Structure 1
């Protein structure tokens, strides 16, 4: 039986980084290459318009084949038993495709992001992946319809931000339908027929392509994590603590297997934290930051957010104050305005969250990220001379001033 200090199950972005970092310290490390373990990483890269990284020399032993746990300390890889003191689960995620669509040759989110855009498409799903695909298809001249099951478009985003982007999409001819159930998809000779209830009628569209952008699911199937004493939630993701340990303290988990919406920045944070904690005594171990890194939806215009939403903040505090200010894309064209929404506490003037949609939002959100993490009182920030005109910095000044006025009059 092969014995290692650490075995990493999955060779995606986070898994490869951990294996390489630990192997560099002289530990005997193996990484298991699984089918589709980098699928979610490739979706994330495609969403951000990034090319997959070039292969680099590896310093760990690479194992290939299906893997499953035989016990908390033993893993079977292609029938070969492997034993390790510590394991890291980094098996990634894969598209969640509704039953009945798998045999219809609909496009997955990855295929949709990396293939030429069709002339017409229905996109199943109303989240950030669906929004990015719809945006790209529309800018290429295609006819696009979004069908989401949730009761509103982009349900994970602040409603003000989601409504602003939806308005921009509709102005470009993108149809958006929320709360849609009982969707029927049929393959035809030259495309698809998609129908769904619309009031007392049934709406039907004939399109060239159908895209299943209904999210990702964790790659936990087949690993037999029960034999490893690892708890898996009902939706399939691995439950972790603030040090990324599973219910078995000798097994950690990182990336999409812990949260199918894990961003590239969060995956890198996971990898750094696990690699560091494996080398540190218990009193020097690092914990996950409470505030997640900024999250970006690269539509046109883009969305950016950091910190808590209004509903999340109100569950924790009773003195939450919000303010919404217009975000102009350069010139003061009200028809092209996005928004900035700030969520903070009246007591202490602390910023809890910021939500933006507009050109330059991915860059501007870093400023608000610093305010969230530094806990600087917002009343001390908005001095006109520090915010150049015109542009995104002026929008930040307007939002901060609006929040201070709402909080303190």
Structure 2
């Protein structure tokens, strides 16, 4: 049995950053990662960075046009470029930890024996047992696959992770699920040249978002040829010759769609399978996440959970902030918590991208705020005209009593950058007038904040 001071299970953003910080503080750390294809975590291997690499390549390809075969060749080149980038980042992340004298990296599946002991079934067939004072769970989330007949058996069905390795551009793509991941893939593959159909069971498109902005997003997608079918149930999937047949139940009756690829994008669940958390006294929430307090401590006092497995917002930067919260307890003054991290922005990398922070108008009114609304069509922004992307809508929600910004929705080019300005202003408690009267460089998308907050509807 190997004794160490800390064990981190999962090479995600929070875990790997914490491992480095603990090692730098002189502690002996063991990092346990299930697969040698996942060094560095979900983000760099099968999520954020590879998808954004493909999103960028898809937009370049769309601008070039050409026949489907020309687009297919560019798509294959984009996959190869993505693979080179991912391999490089994976290696850098591995060596950043493995080369540190205080860190040991074990490749294998970890599971709890009790609150202080972890068994590791090594990838090479061996076994290792670890004893540690402190243990950190950072195992992320996994795709949820609904129990649809034929779905798991089909040769043409992919998850968001396996879709990234598809080397042949599908002429037709069906996406099951109209959430953020599904819509991002829909936009990306439409730019590459696929005919994309999205099917969702709900009636509302992007139901968590402001209705006006969601309508603008849907209109933009449909103008680009992406078909979004709502109030649809997927009954079964069967394989044909070179394609899948997807049987649907709609309000108008039965319908069958064919496609060379089917993407399942029906959400992700905390990845706790095989951890044997019950042996350590670690409890789960009703939704299957590891139960934690505001300091991310689990029901076992020497065990913490970070990132997607802890059931919070599934973003890499939340996992990073979880690291800050845990580090604050172990190496700092303990002041950081999940309750004081402020407004959390997010972006969906459509074309153009959609970004949001804070409350929608509906949510703000439901919470009893008297609100003022600011709206600006993207066509009125000079930089959007320069970029030849005059599509979208900006909308902000303001507390009428304090003039503080309660939320913002940006459906426009470069929204993923501008949203961070709004997050900073909200966390600082600044009135909207500060952004309205600020001096911005020109031409930029951020200068649209001048006009947006000058368009207050009292």
Q: Name 1:358's counterpart in structure 2.
A: 412
Question: In the aligned structure 1, how far is the partner of 2:454 from the partner of 2:134?
Answer: 51
2:48 to 44, 51, 54: 44
Deviation at 1:390, TM superposition (A): 5.7
State the SS of the aligned residue for 2:164: helix
State the SS of the aligned residue for 1:110: helix
Deviation at 1:335, TM superposition (A): 9.9
State the SS of the aligned residue for 1:102: coil
Deviations 1:310-347 (A, max 9, x none): 34434433323333321226239999431111122111
State the SS of the aligned residue for 1:246: coil
Question: In the aligned structure 2, how far is the partner of 1:370 from the partner of 1:139?
Answer: 33
Deviation at 1:387, TM superposition (A): 5.3
Mapped pair 1:186 → 2:238: yes
1:160 to 195, 198, 212: 212
Q: Is the 8 A contact 1:181 1:197 kept in 2?
A: yes
Q: Is the 8 A contact 1:40 1:216 kept in 2?
A: no
Q: Is the 8 A contact 1:340 1:396 kept in 2?
A: no
Mapped pair 1:286 → 2:336: yes
Q: CA RMSD of the aligned region, Å?
A: 2.6
Q: Name 2:138's counterpart in structure 1.
A: 90
> Within 5 A, what are the aligned runs for 1:318-329?
318-328=369-379
Q: Name 1:377's counterpart in structure 2.
A: 431
Q: Name 1:210's counterpart in structure 2.
A: 262
Gaps of 5+ in 2: 54-81, 122-126
Q: Name 1:346's counterpart in structure 2.
A: 400
Q: Name 2:314's counterpart in structure 1.
A: 262
> Within 5 A, what are the aligned runs for 1:8-407?
8-35=8-35, 38-39=41-42, 42-49=46-53, 51-52=85-86, 53=89, 54-55=91-92, 56-57=95-96, 58=98, 59=100, 60-78=103-121, 79-99=127-147, 100=149, 101-105=151-155, 106-116=157-167, 117-259=169-311, 261-280=313-332, 283-288=333-338, 289-328=340-379, 330-331=384-385, 336-383=390-437, 386=439, 392-403=445-456, 405-406=457-458
Deviation at 1:30, TM superposition (A): 0.8
Deviations 1:103-123 (A, max 9, x none): 213111122234343110100
Question: In the aligned structure 2, how far is the partner of 1:80 from the partner of 1:113?
Answer: 33
State the SS of the aligned residue for 2:297: coil
**Using a 3 Å threshold, how does the CA distance of structure 1 residues 290 and 319 change in structure 2: closer, same or farther?**
farther
**Using a 3 Å threshold, how does the CA distance of structure 1 residues 306 and 47 change in structure 2: closer, same or farther?**
farther
State the SS of the aligned residue for 1:368: helix
State the SS of the aligned residue for 2:254: strand
**Using a 3 Å threshold, how does the CA distance of structure 1 residues 315 and 46 change in structure 2: closer, same or farther?**
farther
**Using a 3 Å threshold, how does the CA distance of structure 1 residues 239 and 161 change in structure 2: closer, same or farther?**
farther
Deviation at 1:264, TM superposition (A): 2.1
Deviation at 1:159, TM superposition (A): 2.5
Q: Is the 8 A contact 2:143 2:266 kept in 1?
A: yes
State the SS of the aligned residue for 1:354: strand
Q: Is the 8 A contact 1:113 1:133 kept in 2?
A: no
Question: In the aligned structure 2, how far is the partner of 1:308 from the partner of 1:4?
Answer: 44
Question: In the aligned structure 2, how far is the partner of 1:73 from the partner of 1:138?
Answer: 50
State the SS of the aligned residue for 1:349: coil
Question: In the aligned structure 2, how far is the partner of 1:267 from the partner of 1:333?
Answer: 33
Gaps of 5+ in 1: none
Q: Is the 8 A contact 2:389 2:413 kept in 1?
A: no
**Number of residue equivalences:** 402
Question: In the aligned structure 1, how far is the partner of 2:129 from the partner of 2:388?
Answer: 64
TM-score, length of structure 2 as denominator length: 0.81
Deviation at 1:185, TM superposition (A): 1.7
Question: In the aligned structure 2, how far is the partner of 1:331 from the partner of 1:175?
Answer: 26
